[in-house]
Amino acid sequence: MIHTLKTVVQQAQITRPLVHAITNYITANDCANMILAAGGAPTMAQDEREVEEITTLSNALVLNLGALHAQQAMLLAGRKANCLGHPVVFDPVAAGASFLRGENSRRLLHEVKMAVIRGNASEIRALAIGTETTLGVEANALDKVTEANLLESAALVQAFSRRTGAVVALTGEIDLVTDGTRTVALYGGCEMMGHITGAGCMLTALTACYCGANPNCPFEAAVAAVGVMDICGEAAYQQVKHAGEGTASFRTRLIDAVSRFAAEDFAGKLRLRLLP
């Protein structure tokens, strides 16, 4: 597995995939910088009159539900990406927080074939079983994946993956990634990732970057992205703690760490467990 993950990361650094991200304005800058840090190039066109052309030039597409005003652009770009066989990565930001978000999510999932769906526990549950306990963009504590509910949570993401045909990445303290058949749990990151905006959006952007460079391996791309974020989150936290810094420095050091990540860094740092 680690050998494959190394290749996934290196492919992005070598081939510089162009990632078309239709994403929310709050974290768009961070997402663009994250894609660049991983070796890709971002383009963030949202205008309905051009998104199909831009997607055609690109290697992967991000649909971030936070860009609610761009729902039509997402549908156009998503269908075009599907036609061309470009991987589409969906981030159902705060999917359970409003009727509109639920409706837009269902429409996108119905009309666009997603390669990967990446969300926190509340977002994935909202889509998978229709719970609506999301508070804003935060995962509800009750929804979290723990060692106690690990297999039950795995069953949930596996069923959702089989129903949608997408790799599902449910991320948090414990991360689950599945393609419906293979399922892994990843450990890492740090609590401070919940104290900056955009950690989830950046992970989605990173996933799309790796998918763009490895279009036939969405499962491995998603595992690699989650693994890189976990390792870099820990490294950034150690630096911040050592220097007596705070959350804004953590954001900077997190992107720094991704920009300096080498495929060899997986060895000895990746904490991954195959689930039955």
29 binds a copy of itself (CB under 8 A): yes
Find the shortest distance in angstroms from Cβ 39 to a copy of itself. Answer: 9
- By CB under 8 A, the count of residues binding a copy of itself is 57
Q: Are 34 and 204 in contact (CB under 8 A)?
A: no
32 binds a copy of itself (CB under 8 A): yes
* Residue 164 three-state SS: helix
Nearer to a copy of itself, 103 or 152 (CB): 103
Among 169, 254, 263, 270, binds a copy of itself (CB under 8 A): 254
* Residue 84 three-state SS: helix
Burial (Cβ within 10 Å: 0-12, 13-18, ≥19) of residue 15 = middle
Find the shortest distance in angstroms from Cβ 16 to a copy of itself. Answer: 8
Reading phi first (left if > 0) and then psi (alpha if -120 to 50, else beta), residue 2 is in alpha
Find the shortest distance in angstroms from Cβ 82 to a copy of itself. Answer: 20
Q: How far apart are CA 63 and CA 128, in angstroms?
A: 18
* Residue 173 three-state SS: coil
Nearer to a copy of itself, 118 or 251 (CB): 251
Q: How far apart are CA 67 and CA 86, in angstroms?
A: 20
What residue type is assigned to position 131 of the chain? Answer: T
For residue 235, what is the DSSP state? H
Interface map 123-162 toward a copy of itself (x if CB under 8 A): ------------xxxx------------------------
Interacting residue ranges for a copy of itself, rule: CB under 8 A: 18, 20, 24-30, 32-33, 36-37, 41-45, 47, 49-50, 53-54, 57-58, 68-69, 94, 97-101, 135-138, 195-198, 244-249, 251-260
